[in-house]
A = this chain, B = another copy of it.
Amino acid sequence: MAEKITPRNVDYSQWYIDIVLKAKLADYSPVKGCMVIRPRGFAIWERIQAEMDRRFKETGHENAYFPLLIPMSFLKKEAEHVEGFAPELAVVTHGGGEELEEPYCIRPTSETIIWAMYKNWIQSWRDLPLLYNQWCNVLRWEKRTRLFLRTTEFLWQEGHTAHETEAEAVEETLRMLEVYRSTIEEHLCIPVLAGLKSDAEKFAGAVRTYSIEAMMQDKKALQAGTSHFLGQNFAKAFDVQFQTRDGKLDHVWATSWGTSTRLVGAVIMTHSDDKGLVLPPSLSPEEVVIVPIFKNDNKAAVFACADGIKGALKSSGRRVTLDTDDQNSPGWKFAEWEMRGVPLRIELGPRDMEAGNVVMVRRDTSEKITVRAGEVPAKASELLAAIQANLLARARAYRDANTRDIADYEGMKAFFGPAGEEAAGIGEAKGGYARALWCGSRECEAMLKAETKATLRCMPLDDQEAVHGSCALCGQTARHRAIFARSY
């Protein structure tokens, strides 16, 4: 058997770390707060990236690349922005053997350097919209880090768009939120709520921030992507004006939106189990692994048969690998491939072979299905689609089962329990999503956070009807319906 991992019921955090390290997705690095993404982890990111990029291009966006370094003075041009990011900056003070006249920071996000360039490129309404995206690394100095979920350096994409009108910019903000929602649900099998952030939680420099929020197995929320309506804030800070259709001058309207390698962590945490990683077929480096079961006297025959099945699967477009290891037992190999999260395993032994059968095993349900060898490609295709659908449905059912309507503050406190007393394992974890009315005041958010660590995750866009009644926190007149949860 492969080395065991900590069960979720004992310590969910350690279970997560065990999977990341033992499935060789990432590793700690000698650089404080930074990790190394190993090939199996990077392959998941590449598959997320490819699908996102396809959808960005489909919606008219182009990729570009802006400098890693940003003059410190640029960051200061937008007051809220610098206040939000200053504590997290890495600063370059020396270059080429000399002290720099003006220090640079490593980009924590690129609004400022991009809007400094947009000033050169935008003169008239004919130059608009600019729909640019950038795939890159960013740095935010973090005190407490967690592999994939929060690291000082991370990989992400940041979209930065410029528009003629407020309405167009708002439309773009919501369009990209929907691109995130659909990609993450369909491709990553993670159900998310799309909604508006409160002012307390919005991006430094934004007018409004929208996010998509996922629920992990310990019932905590994870912010999986954000889309910001920036108004004219950055256009004003960098003096980007354009000639309008009726010959006037106006500041440009802006959006920005981002998702990151954090999504890899969300995938792991949402789907995996005590045997290891569980991956949606859409993201797995291999969709199918074939494990031959053999002894010395039948090895050649079993492998010949396995090779034939591999060929048939490849021809049908499947990503498939054949385990040729002859050092370990079948049981060890089964456990190892379960640890790595391959969605479908094919077991092939001499008795199956003689009967013209193989055994297929689903990673998500452990169900074993005996299939005629000739029907493997068709059955694999059917089962992979079923796994993809099941992972989303299962995660959605879990989230819904852990969402409660809460009417008052006593209910909130009972639902979350006090701050600092969270269980390590998921079995005894309290909380989840508290769906509740809210008056809109920052004080209510602060009070709940202090007492329970729960924060306002978002005000779901599709759940703002019939907001009548009183705030679940202070009892004043409610203005919104919000989701409260502890979060990563």
Could you list which residues of chain A lie within 8 angstroms of chain B, going by C-beta atoms?
Answer: 27, 29-32, 34-39, 42-43, 45-46, 62-71, 74, 86-97, 104, 106, 113, 116-117, 120-121, 132, 136-137, 139, 141-143, 152-153, 155
Contacts and interface: CB of A to CB of B under 8 A. Distances in A.
Contact of A65 (B42, B69, B88, B97): B42
B36 A67 contact: yes
Nearest to A29: B67
A107 to B, nearest CB: 10
B37 A71 contact: no
Give me the 10 closest cross-chain CB pairs, A-B, nearest first.
Answer: A96-B141, A39-B62, A91-B94, A37-B65, A34-B67, A31-B67, A95-B141, A90-B95, A93-B93, A31-B69
A429 to B, nearest CB: 31
B71 A27 contact: no
Given A31-B113, A89-B97, A90-B95, 15 more contacts: A27-B120, A29-B117, A30-B71, A34-B67, A34-B68, A36-B65, A39-B62, A39-B64, A68-B137, A69-B90, A86-B97, A87-B96, A95-B152, A96-B142, A136-B137
7 contacts: A39-B62, A67-B153, A88-B96, A89-B94, A89-B96, A91-B94, A93-B93
B39 A132 contact: yes
Contacts of A46: 63
B69 A34 contact: yes
Contact of A155 (B65, B94, B120, B121): B65
A153 B88 contact: no
A71 to B, nearest CB: 6
Contact of A93 (B70, B91, B96): B91
A142 to B, nearest CB: 8
Nearest to A46: B63
A96 B43 contact: no
A123 to B, nearest CB: 14
Contacts of A97: 86-87, 89, 141
A92 B106 contact: yes
A74 B29 contact: no
- Most B CB contacts (10 A, CB to CB) among A66, A86, A96, A132 go to A96
B36 A117 contact: yes
